[in-house]
Amino acid sequence: MKREEAKRRIQQLREEILRRNYEYFVLDQSQVSEAVRDSLKKELIALETEFPEFITPDSPTRRVGSVLSGKFPKVKHKSRKWSLSDVFSMEELKDWEERVLKAVGKCQFVTELKLDGLNITLWYEKGLLVKALTRGDGTVGEDVTHTVRTIKNVPLRLFEEVDLEVSGEVILSKKAFGNMEGFANARNAAAGTVRQLDPSVTAERDLEMYCYHLGEHSPQASSQKKKLSLQSDILERFKKLGLPVNKEYEVHESAADSIHYLEKWAEWREKLPYEIDGVVFKVNEKNKQELMGFTAKSPRYAVAYKFPAQQTTTVVEGITVQIGRTGAATPVAELRPVLVAGSTVSRATLHNEDEIKRKDVRVGDTVIIQKAGDVIPEVVEVLPALRPAHSKAFEFPRDCPSCGSPLSRIDFEAVRRCTNMECPGRQRESFLHFVSRGALDVDTLGEKVVDGLLEFGFIKDPADFFTLTKEQLLELPLFKEKKAQNVLDSIDSRRTVPLERFLYGLGIRFVGEQVAKLLSQCLQEQSTDSNPSPKLILKLLKNSTREDLETIEGFGERIAESIIQWIQVPYNQKLLEKFETVGLKLLWPPQKKIITGLAGKTFVITGTLSRPREEFKTLIENAGGHVSGSVSKKTDYILAGEEAGGKLDKAKELGLKVIGETEFFQLL
């Protein structure tokens, strides 16, 4: 980046961060998450490192700790409130463990959940709650005794008359947060709820507190018999005194064991009733903790492993329009690559013309992007304060970027579509769909190979996959004998496929995997043939009327209409005939056995099996069983493959029946 440009960007970022911090810390009404503020700060730090001449003393990067709002009386903490240093990868975690082992030798580790809430310190005098403070800047906090007193699991009186200072996290459950509006996440909502002037507002919302750190205390606070020499002793002592402790903490004899805890909670965090943003690792022995000491901000004996952020900020470098297999034109933001939730993202969907207008996303804009589970990353919103001068609103193209034919907007749909059946953009996507996982599942035919085949003109429709020759494949870049043979073998293994997979692979609008399944059952009922063929399917579909299709349970007008329209297109009719010519064989869906050993049984599938999980799921469902994603007491069988992880452990814990593939097929 040029100097002048960097200077301007630094100024913009600084103002935006200060404004967002003010919203969050002072007004308690931030609409963006911590991950977003962190991401902006990271960009600012990087620019200030490259151009140190632009650092000013008031830059938000110069501040340690948080702002005090001035709404509540300030109170000096009895002992310094440390924060934790963060690690974001296994590597960094292992580095930390090595440092620990080097400094103190073999030791125990306590792992705790990193609760995503607000850090609060409680003072008890002679067993009575006398003060509750926010962390503030670590030295001085704000007095929020009036609201914290209303939190139901915070004892107003301990079981013993001791003096102590204890810190913990105040959190709001996912359920309680679900009933609230105006906050970006549960953590902000918890903070906003504690930092209320009126305690009756706090009392109405279901806050909870969990204690994890002992500060100053009278000798009586550590039980007379035993000195509190371990973090785990402290947690147990808290419980005896009546203080709430999160029950998921664990003690491990070695670092290797404690990593297991991390893996478990990375997988199970969704199922917790409250949010966590990571896992905390602490050396258990207090004397060893003391040996390690502190850095300027945090203890060396503990770290927080933070789960990858689901939201972050980046810059839109371009906006392109992609043509999908149904012709839908989807605007896509081409992004400066960033790490979100553990993977690098360089593109995010902008959905459609109306969305892009509503959000007013422009080239050059700084945007918040998010990724949730397996879904495609999306642009959440623009940060207008960071917009470059002279930017222009995006104009949606009138013509298809792939074939040049006009994009039309049909009826009240939000999307524009290319209606040219032979549009190369559409074809590429439909070919990829045909070989995708839920359809024919040819894993050797990825994007690069399909692009190569298209470029050389070896495939003009999906039936051409079945006539590919080794000579053709060897012409593609990077193809050698072995790779070509692999592709041919995997195509060969798909010359006979279940009808439902084939129907789904055709890419008829609104015919997803479930609809394809229903349609294949309905076609089977209409036929007496022992095996279907592409030609038979053509005949059956041609003879179906809208009314016939609408009688299928689960089908509406929209689906029926789409299938009827599809089969009327001459191109599609010819395609089915061509599948017949190239020798594709189809299979009817397996007959549902009404009463089998699996009727009403619940399965959980875990680990790597010899075929895709989807196939096992189908087998189970066809035999009257049901597949669930999570292990519980209600699970009848765990079907476990290789490298099964947390689910298998939980199953064993619950004493459930665990079976392998061989036993599974015997059950069937």
**Which three-class secondary structure state does DSSP give residue 568?**
helix
The catalytic residue among 81, 102, 106, 114 is 114
- State which of residues 243, 266, 304, 503 lies at the interface with ligand IVH (CB under 6 A): 304
Could you give the dihedral angle defined by the CA atoms of residues 527, 528, 529 and 531, in that order, rounded to the nearest 10 degrees? 70
**Minimal distance in Å, beta carbon 49 to ligand IVH?**
23
Quote the DSSP letter at residue 608: B
Q: Which stretch binds ligand IVH (CB under 6 A): 109-117, 384-392, 498-506, 649-657?
A: 109-117
Question: Following DSSP, what letter does each residue of 485-514 receive, concatenated?
Answer: HHHHHHHHTTSEEEHHHHHHHTT-TT--HH
Q: Which stretch binds ligand IVH (CB under 6 A): 112-120, 424-432, 595-603, 615-623?
A: 112-120
Q: Is 238 a binder of ligand IVH (CB under 6 A)? A: no
**Which three-class secondary structure state does DSSP give residue 254?**
coil
Asked whether the beta carbons of 165 and 141 are under 8 A apart, the reply is: no
- State which of residues 24, 212, 502, 637 lies at the interface with ligand IVH (CB under 6 A): 212
Q: Is 112 a binder of ligand IVH (CB under 6 A)? A: yes
Classify each residue of 116-147 as buried b or exposed e, where b means 16 or more C-beta atoms within 10 Å of its C-beta.
bbbbbbbbbeebebebbbbbbbbebbbebbeb
114 is catalytic: yes
Q: Which residue is nearest to ligand IVH (CB)?
A: 119
**Minimal distance in Å, beta carbon 648 to ligand IVH?**
27
**Minimal distance in Å, beta carbon 313 to ligand IVH?**
21
**Minimal distance in Å, beta carbon 516 to ligand IVH?**
46
Residue type, 582: V
Asked whether the beta carbons of 73 and 274 are under 8 A apart, the reply is: no
Print the binding letters for residues 175-204 with ligand IVH: x by CB under 6 A, - otherwise: ------------------------------
Asked whether the beta carbons of 534 and 586 are under 8 A apart, the reply is: yes
- State which of residues 136, 155, 299, 532 lies at the interface with ligand IVH (CB under 6 A): 299
Phi, psi of 46 (to 5 degrees): -60, -45
- State which of residues 12, 59, 119, 310 lies at the interface with ligand IVH (CB under 6 A): 119
Minimum CB distance to ligand IVH smaller for 55 or for 292: 292
Give the number of other Cβ atoms within 10 Å of residue 414's Cβ. 11
Quote the DSSP letter at residue 22: I
**Minimal distance in Å, beta carbon 334 to ligand IVH?**
35
Which whole-number Å values give the CA distances from 364 to 49, 344, 367, in the listed order? 22, 19, 9
Is residue 305 classed exposed, middle or buried when 0-12, 13-18 and 19+ CB atoms within 10 A define those classes?
Answer: buried
- State which of residues 10, 104, 115, 619 lies at the interface with ligand IVH (CB under 6 A): 115
- Residues numbered 313 to 352 that lie near ligand IVH (CB under 6 A) are none
**Which three-class secondary structure state does DSSP give residue 531?**
coil
Minimum CB distance to ligand IVH smaller for 304 or for 453: 304
Which whole-number Å values give the CA distances from 84 to 119, 123, 185, 281, in the listed order? 12, 22, 21, 10
Report CA torsion sign: 549, 554, 560, 566. negative
Strand 311-323, strand 328-340: pairing = antiparallel
**Minimal distance in Å, beta carbon 85 to ligand IVH?**
8
633 contact partners, CB below 8 Å, separation of at least 6 = 654
Which whole-number Å values give the CA distances from 554 to 274, 515, 549, 594, in the listed order? 36, 8, 10, 20
Q: Cα–chain-centroid distance for residue 270?
A: 10
Structure tokens at 645: 């992880």
**Minimal distance in Å, beta carbon 498 to ligand IVH?**
49
Can you tell me which residue has the tokens 């905390």?
Answer: 280
Print the binding letters for residues 496-535 with ligand IVH: x by CB under 6 A, - otherwise: ----------------------------------------
Q: Is 211 a binder of ligand IVH (CB under 6 A)? A: no
Minimum CB distance to ligand IVH smaller for 299 or for 498: 299
**Minimal distance in Å, beta carbon 150 to ligand IVH?**
20
- State which of residues 9, 41, 187, 213 lies at the interface with ligand IVH (CB under 6 A): 213
467 contact partners, CB below 8 Å, separation of at least 6 = 582
**Minimal distance in Å, beta carbon 267 to ligand IVH?**
19
Minimum CB distance to ligand IVH smaller for 137 or for 661: 137
Minimum CB distance to ligand IVH smaller for 117 or for 625: 117
**Minimal distance in Å, beta carbon 68 to ligand IVH?**
16
Minimum CB distance to ligand IVH smaller for 134 or for 520: 134
- Residues numbered 32 to 91 that lie near ligand IVH (CB under 6 A) are 82-84
- State which of residues 14, 41, 114, 517 lies at the interface with ligand IVH (CB under 6 A): 114
Minimum CB distance to ligand IVH smaller for 119 or for 258: 119
Q: Which stretch binds ligand IVH (CB under 6 A): 298-306, 413-421, 425-433, 482-490?
A: 298-306
Q: Which stretch binds ligand IVH (CB under 6 A): 107-115, 376-384, 461-469, 543-551?
A: 107-115
Minimum CB distance to ligand IVH smaller for 293 or for 512: 293
- Residues numbered 247 to 286 that lie near ligand IVH (CB under 6 A) are 280
Structure tokens at 216: 């100053």
Minimum CB distance to ligand IVH smaller for 280 or for 609: 280
Which whole-number Å values give the CA distances from 83 to 64, 458, 509, 591, in the listed order? 10, 61, 53, 61
- State which of residues 48, 163, 169, 285 lies at the interface with ligand IVH (CB under 6 A): 169
- Residues numbered 122 to 141 that lie near ligand IVH (CB under 6 A) are 135
Minimum CB distance to ligand IVH smaller for 213 or for 517: 213
Minimum CB distance to ligand IVH smaller for 190 or for 541: 190
**Minimal distance in Å, beta carbon 330 to ligand IVH?**
39
Can you tell me which residue has the tokens 């895709």?
Answer: 612
Classify each residue of 64-80 as buried b or exposed e, where b means 16 or more C-beta atoms within 10 Å of its C-beta.
eebebbeebebbebeee
Minimum CB distance to ligand IVH smaller for 85 or for 349: 85
Structure tokens at 204: 């109405």
594 contact partners, CB below 8 Å, separation of at least 6 = 624
CA atoms within 13 Å, Cβ hemisphere of 450: 22
Q: Is 302 a binder of ligand IVH (CB under 6 A)? A: yes
Residue 4 to residue 9: CA distance in whole angstroms: 9
**Minimal distance in Å, beta carbon 298 to ligand IVH?**
7
Minimum CB distance to ligand IVH smaller for 41 or for 213: 213
# residues near ligand IVH by CB under 6 A = 15
Residue 28 to residue 180: CA distance in whole angstroms: 14
Which whole-number Å values give the CA distances from 522 to 540, 545, 553, in the listed order? 10, 13, 10
Q: Which stretch binds ligand IVH (CB under 6 A): 114-122, 146-154, 536-544, 561-569?
A: 114-122
**Minimal distance in Å, beta carbon 374 to ligand IVH?**
28
Residue 445 to residue 454: CA distance in whole angstroms: 12
Kindly list the catalytic residues. Answer: 114
Q: Which residue ranges make up the site for ligand IVH (CB under 6 A)?
A: 82-84, 112, 114-115, 119, 135, 169, 212-213, 280, 299, 302, 304
